[in-house]
Structure 1
């Protein structure tokens, strides 16, 4: 007999099912092709809705109770901490001292160091003089990911934070206390400025200037991750540390009348590279944001000539004989060929400003015939401008013979002691001198040819200042360099290998008459310099370590004396009014694990546990009832023990061994959850190691059918707790309190900058 709904051995039901399935599959595929984005948004909305429903349900059932319990516990703990004996205790006294130590190391020491360099403490000008105050800052060299490529990211970030804060604090004190009229940066503003890929131009390494082997493995990552956008973030970082305080000080009341100037356009080898290794796109980017590296400024009636010496050095490179490096060094050469005219023009503009005239000349407006017009009668600045004392600024120091000593203010090595009867410095003194050497992307001094050429072309150079070396060096050059004195300025950064950073202060006084002629006598000095030293960060950290060791020693002695002299312990006793599970000594205090859902309330009138010992089924409800009744702290009367004889019998049958033995498996855990251990009559210690055996009445908790709060433990009440345990607890508690509070203060100071 054929099956129902069939024809010819083929089932309609089967056919219908197959057809329907095929239809649904084709329809689903069609929907996926037409509305993938709609389905995705529906899935996202459904996931968000489910998350909201689950969160709301959790909040209604348990979340709000947990939050409330946490707030109550926190408030109780705060109240217990805010007592006279705890607030004015030795650990908190040490915290107060730590606050003073950290404020000194992170704030006040910078103020003290810069304050000792005030202008009036070292200037020596005639009475009534009004000198121009200038500060030279060398090699801030902001640390970046190029500086320590092998370090973990969190170590690098911590290094950035510490070094930036050192620069910020030093510079802020420089601005606020010294209030200079002018600041010149002497190059190396960044540490890896030459390494970050430009948005335009060819950034590939030249064939003659490959990266050293130690950096080859990082090049792919640098070129991919650290690009123009990264350099712009470094530029903003520099502006935040150095530019913003200057702008803020310029807007302060009383500063409107001052002519202030900040110049940071002089490039260093870490900004561009050195010589033949410079990439033109890198230099174009630097000059677009900081200005031309070659420039003339008249400041304090002195002419400052800034020279891009790292680009100029490409002309003396052996590579220049094989490859065309003119795009690198020609701009500086053209600048030097026209330097004397540029100097006169700058002096004339400055004098016109001082006389209250327009700084630029105006052409006479007249109508002339083209055939008779006189094109030679063109006004121009500088025709009869006087020559002011000229100061040369270069990132790379001028040439000097090997072993030329740098003087007693050099920190790397003091000068060698001369033999008996000799008054001149020891020469050569290689340890006290700048090394005459070169390497990848650096050269310690300029070539002798370029040094002599610079002095001759610029003319009337009375002083030169340079950077690059990171340490102080003061020399007087040879006769072929016109005996020009030069000071190499210390780095202002703590990460440049010199323990004591610093900056150079220059006081200039050169009064002029209306025509620009000097009012001082001939050969009178017009500038004075002073090296201002900043805090030694290593010394600050050593002080932190020594004080930390002293704190550990004091807290250790105190912890040892607590059980001996019966001192009040700093560690708080456990809170008897909270619950955090069970243990061998009974219910523990200090948690938020009270049941927060409705349970069965049958059979819990007596404060006993069922035979199961677990948290499942009826046992769970009884334990919930026990916990709920415990919160009333023993308010239930003893008459309840007389209700229901079967309850009393059940409790007694399980109280001999002190442990529950009911079903659900052996050990500490039953089928329904952790077993609750009930102390037996033979136990010699109750809750918290005190008092009554069955009732925990000394330590708080269950006491013969009643729950009681813990008795206040006296200073000398240690119970069976060993003296060693008390000492360890006290030492750990006090150390932890001092450490975390000191770290919070240090973190806040670091965050504030």
Structure 2
């Protein structure tokens, strides 16, 4: 059925040309009064033609602005339209995008290597940490972390940038990833740090107090540190130490609750205790600066403290300050250093009894508070000998005591550390001998000392600690960076000591780690234990009572050096594979990965000249320059072109310009004046000024292109470029281009992924 064509034209002069619309007549349902004398119930009115879009908000704003400002805004809008921007994209770039999106290109050998590399990076930077901690998923609720020693300028002072910065990033990421998995999977109730939180914490000046080396110690520094001492004093002070403190918090404190904030059943809450100092935090012995220790104590808490956890008493002692008494320096120099720790040890048993009594009252649901009698006494005759106290007195209940010290206790030289020590395993015993070799120098801690360190405490200080604290059944220490387990003799209460591995991979060991501790000490309401069991390997044994109340387990972290070695091996294999393919591609006519030379060098290979070479090119250039200086009809429907064509929108004939062969002629209407002229913007003076500006822009553009073309032709490339232009089309050159493009693609993507892991952890 042939429908008659109904064409509507907008009489609104705001539009630049008529708007035809062809619609089938049988699509309309006419009202009953349309062909009769019946009057409509009402006469609808409209303020605009509903077949025509109203002017945009931007055009309405232009109508309200002054003429010059409106013209400037219109020109800026026309120059920034999408069509003009997309037209400026070079053809070679559009071709490169199309070429890279092809299936053959996406599944090429370099991209397959990229996929394998990404899987390898995900394993080496993420999955291996999750796997290592999963192997330690045993019911332990307390964890010891030793010697993180955040890498800083003190660690490798002669290491150049950027290697020094990469070392800092990588060590931080290693510890952060390990700690995140530790918190997620193990969810410990308590974490103790065993000192050496920073590597150069003792070197950074404080805001107040004297932190200079004493006169007698100025010549003791190693030569490597001595040459950097002035730079450290000038660059690194209180502000830098605070940044390092924030860095420590970002690695550990920020992820404390990543596995949940609820404590285990029967626990009073979760604790993160990092107040035990090491020699890298404060120094060692008589060379400790009191302002440095005060700063550490302000931010991390008391360096000497007593904690009751799971019916065990943990006593943390600042052993690096205690060692100042055995340094041989005068008492006037060492007393400010040793006084706090000596006072703590003199009263530690009272502190232990108070802590145990407070814990028992908490478990019984009681509130322990100080009560004074209300009496009136003369000040001179008042008796202060029997004041109320929270100390239940000697002979009261005592929990098994665990000593925490950064520096290990003294042992005889050559005392073996056991089979879990990485450097070195125990020496095999002679044939027929069943006991371990003792002494075993390779498997033992070195009994030595040096600048700001001492591998073990003195024998007198070790005995003093055990006797002053009392009932010490286990000792946990750090400082050595490797695992060591010994049982001390009778003068140290037969205490079992475990030196915990460092959790940093730059501390001279291949497999860092941490120690998990399981505590089990059920008690009666009066604090007496409920069970009796003989001790075993790894457990703490109070030989007087025969009680085993704890079990330890060493958990190893990934071998980062092996991961880096594997990266290097895989990189070598990748280069070999790409080299073989680069050689075979031109020999066997394989699809090259490198783009065509014309796409790589569009300025030399393009067949289009920068200058117009014909009248058509000149006309096209004039139109382009004219569009850049006048209103664009494609982006602005309110500005009219110089000529108007009638468009047919009939679905039967298709959308587009009317064909001259159409049997039904379309009526022609005069082109309405553009909106901007109606607004008074486009008068005769303005048109003449714009025409002059347009001609000037065209002239300047032609001159600029002529100068660029002359410079390009007169430019003489260097010898390398000339050689490459000749060599790239030869067989060897094609192989080299193929290798460079393939290796560059793999290196670019894989390097970006690796840097993303390095930057974001």
With structure 1 as the length reference, what TM-score do the two structures score? 0.71
Which of 553, 558, 571 is 2:576 aligned to?
Answer: 553
- The count of corresponding residues between Structure 1 and Structure 2 is 580
Q: Which residue does the alignment assign to 2:124?
A: 105
2:399 equivalent to 1:388:
yes
2:136 equivalent to 1:117:
yes
CA distance in structure 1 between the partners assigned to 2:338 and 2:217 by the alignment? 17
2:362 equivalent to 1:340:
no
Greater shift, 323-332 or 505-514, is seen at: 323-332
CA 171–720 in structure 1, closer or farther in 2 if over 3 Å, else same: closer
2:97 equivalent to 1:78:
yes
Residue pair 1:579, 1:594 contacting (<8 A) in 2 also: no
Which of 530, 539, 560 is 2:562 aligned to?
Answer: 539
2:360 equivalent to 1:351:
yes
SS at match of 2:143: strand
2:255 equivalent to 1:275:
no
SS at match of 1:415: coil
Which of 193, 200, 203 is 2:208 aligned to?
Answer: 200
CA distance in structure 1 between the partners assigned to 2:322 and 2:495 by the alignment? 20
Tell me by how many angstroms 1:417 deviates. Answer: 1.3
CA 368–259 in structure 1, closer or farther in 2 if over 3 Å, else same: same
SS at match of 1:401: coil
Residue pair 2:400, 2:471 contacting (<8 A) in 1 also: yes
CA distance in structure 2 between the partners assigned to 1:67 and 1:354 by the alignment? 75
**Within-5 A mapping of 1:571-586:** 571-574=594-597, 580-582=602-604
Gaps (5+ residues) in structure 2?
A: 1-71, 533-544, 626-706, 716-724
Q: Which residue does the alignment assign to 1:438?
A: 449
SS at match of 1:208: helix
CA 331–579 in structure 1, closer or farther in 2 if over 3 Å, else same: closer
Q: Which residue does the alignment assign to 2:231?
A: 221
**Within-5 A mapping of 1:289-304:** 289-304=299-314
CA RMSD of the aligned region, Å?
3.5
Q: Which residue does the alignment assign to 1:529?
A: 552
Q: Which residue does the alignment assign to 1:191?
A: 199
Residue pair 1:579, 1:588 contacting (<8 A) in 2 also: no
CA distance in structure 1 between the partners assigned to 2:401 and 2:392 by the alignment? 16
SS at match of 2:215: coil
Tell me by how many angstroms 1:150 deviates. Answer: 1.5
Residue pair 2:598, 2:606 contacting (<8 A) in 1 also: no
CA 256–470 in structure 1, closer or farther in 2 if over 3 Å, else same: same
Which of 124, 139, 143 is 1:135 aligned to?
Answer: 143
Tell me by how many angstroms 1:536 deviates. Answer: 0.6
2:113 equivalent to 1:94:
yes
Residue pair 2:263, 2:270 contacting (<8 A) in 1 also: no
Residue pair 1:347, 1:385 contacting (<8 A) in 2 also: no
Tell me by how many angstroms 1:373 deviates. Answer: 7.9
Q: Which residue does the alignment assign to 1:309?
A: 319
CA distance in structure 1 between the partners assigned to 2:90 and 2:180 by the alignment? 42
CA distance in structure 2 between the partners assigned to 1:483 and 1:71 by the alignment? 81
SS at match of 1:303: strand
Greater shift, 498-507 or 213-222, is seen at: 213-222
Tell me by how many angstroms 1:240 deviates. Answer: 0.5
Q: Which residue does the alignment assign to 1:331?
A: 340
Residue pair 2:125, 2:757 contacting (<8 A) in 1 also: yes
SS at match of 1:538: helix
SS at match of 2:595: coil
Residue pair 1:559, 1:728 contacting (<8 A) in 2 also: yes
For residues 76-112 of structure 1, the C-alpha deviation after alignment (integer angstroms, 9 at most, x for no partner) is 4222201110111221111111111000000000000
CA distance in structure 2 between the partners assigned to 1:253 and 1:574 by the alignment? 66
Which of 124, 132, 154 is 2:162 aligned to?
Answer: 154
Residue pair 1:399, 1:447 contacting (<8 A) in 2 also: yes
Tell me by how many angstroms 1:304 deviates. Answer: 0.6
Greater shift, 76-85 or 510-519, is seen at: 76-85
For residues 274-312 of structure 1, the C-alpha deviation after alignment (integer angstroms, 9 at most, x for no partner) is 000000100000001011111111111111111100000
Tell me by how many angstroms 1:68 deviates. Answer: 6.5
For residues 488-521 of structure 1, the C-alpha deviation after alignment (integer angstroms, 9 at most, x for no partner) is 1000001111111000111110011212111112
Q: Which residue does the alignment assign to 2:175?
A: 167
Residue pair 1:346, 1:382 contacting (<8 A) in 2 also: no
CA distance in structure 2 between the partners assigned to 1:239 and 1:670 by the alignment? 57
SS at match of 1:529: strand
Which of 238, 242, 252 is 2:248 aligned to?
Answer: 238
Tell me by how many angstroms 1:556 deviates. Answer: 2.0
Tell me by how many angstroms 1:247 deviates. Answer: 4.2
Residue pair 1:250, 1:256 contacting (<8 A) in 2 also: no
SS at match of 2:561: helix
Residue pair 2:370, 2:390 contacting (<8 A) in 1 also: no
Tell me by how many angstroms 1:739 deviates. Answer: 1.1
CA distance in structure 1 between the partners assigned to 2:750 and 2:322 by the alignment? 52
Which of 570, 579, 583 is 2:593 aligned to?
Answer: 570
CA 60–346 in structure 1, closer or farther in 2 if over 3 Å, else same: same
CA 317–168 in structure 1, closer or farther in 2 if over 3 Å, else same: same
Q: Which residue does the alignment assign to 1:693?
A: none
CA 183–318 in structure 1, closer or farther in 2 if over 3 Å, else same: same
CA distance in structure 2 between the partners assigned to 1:720 and 1:366 by the alignment? 103
Which of 711, 714, 720 is 1:673 aligned to?
Answer: 711
Larger relative contact order (CA 8 Å, sep ≥ 6):
2
Residue pair 1:303, 1:389 contacting (<8 A) in 2 also: yes
With structure 2 as the length reference, what TM-score do the two structures score? 0.70
CA 319–362 in structure 1, closer or farther in 2 if over 3 Å, else same: closer
CA distance in structure 1 between the partners assigned to 2:522 and 2:486 by the alignment? 27
Which of 425, 433, 436 is 1:425 aligned to?
Answer: 436
Residue pair 1:194, 1:271 contacting (<8 A) in 2 also: yes
CA 150–588 in structure 1, closer or farther in 2 if over 3 Å, else same: farther
Q: Which residue does the alignment assign to 1:406?
A: 417
CA 259–605 in structure 1, closer or farther in 2 if over 3 Å, else same: same
2:478 equivalent to 1:478:
no
